[in-house]
Amino acid sequence: MNDRATVALTKVPAITLGFWIIKILCTTLGETGGDSVSMTWLGETTAEAGATGLNGYLVGTLIFGVLLIGFIIAQIKARRFNPWLYWATIIASTTAGTTLADFCTRSVGVGYPGGSLLLAGCVLISLFIWHRTLGSVSVDTVTRPSQEVFYWIIITFSQTLGTALGDWAADGGLGYGGGALLFGVALAILAGLYLLTSVSRVLLFWAAFILTRPLGATLGDFFDKPLDKGGLDFSRPLATLLLAVAIVLLILLLPQHPGKHPKEEHAA
């Protein structure tokens, strides 16, 4: 009974192929959705564009930040895994990560290398503190509010880091298509390590989780950036809507269930 109660409180999804497909679509939507608000609706704010009026990146970050905090509180208060709530929180984190990374690298001016190194440090420090405090950073142990807080902090940092990495790769000469190819190959290598080696599954999960974000960022930019910047000049709001529809359909069609807590395996 105690094992069953523990499993019922596991509120993150099982790590399956379907999980990764939806995650990549969410990160792509985070890029197009964040840019729709901070660039299309509020107006891009960079040194080149001129800093007149409200800072679109900052206002976008505040909007998505409030949504993210609300979803995280709801996620922590939920008594069991809810796929709609979980993926809504992921989308909120990736849109907030998009606008926050753009604000730091473009408006504040730390640049892509500086922003990437700073955010990578935040991810590593958060993982270290989580491990020292609770003994594990495995997502299969996320059953209590304290673990969920660490989980969502690291996810938000990783989503922001991924945006900076994607923009750095794309603007560094690879372009959006080349950047997407680079991160796609990196994920394929991680998949090979998972299938063919005994490398730590926890390490591979967090590495893959981080890399899906720059993949989504470069894919999103490839769709919506102007032709003269290497994109397809697709409407950001329309791309966001189509991605949202695809995510909803996949959540409906693919099995959605919580991951197995280690205690469940011992009880089997």
Task: Tell me the domain boundaries of the chain.
Answer: 7-254
* Residues shown for the chain: 268
Residue 43 reports pLDDT greater than 80: no
* pLDDT above 70 coverage of the chain, percent: 87
Tokens encoding 141: 């142990």
- 13 SS3 class: strand
What angle do the packed helices 175-196 and 145-169 form, to 10 degrees? 130
What angle do the packed helices 236-253 and 17-35 form, to 10 degrees? 160
Tokens encoding 237: 């709001």
Higher pLDDT, 104 or 64: 64
> Global pTM?
0.85
Among the listed residues 99, 108, 106, the one whose alpha carbon sits nearest the alpha carbon of residue 159: 99
Among the listed residues 252, 237, 247, the one whose alpha carbon sits nearest the alpha carbon of residue 34: 237
Query: 40-54, 64-78, 254-268: which has the minimum mean pLDDT?
Result: 40-54
Residue 159 reports pLDDT greater than 70: yes
Angstrom distances, CA of residue 108 to CA of 114, 115, 216, 243 = 11, 10, 23, 30
**What pLDDT sits at residue 4?**
45
As a whole number, the mean pLDDT across the chain is: 83
pLDDT band at 82 (very low <50, low <70, confident <90, very high): very high
Say which residues have a Cβ less than 8 Å from residue 183's Cβ, sequence separation at least 6: 165, 166, 169, 211, 212, 214, 215, 218
Query: 17-21, 40-44, 202-206: which has the minimum mean pLDDT?
Result: 40-44
Residue 198 reports pLDDT greater than 50: yes
pLDDT band at 79 (very low <50, low <70, confident <90, very high): confident
**What pLDDT sits at residue 45?**
52
Residue 70 reports pLDDT greater than 80: yes
- Which segment, 11-20, 53-62, 68-77, 176-185, is predicted with the most confidence on average? 68-77
**What pLDDT sits at residue 52?**
45
Answer whether 88's CB lies under 8 Å from 71's CB.
yes
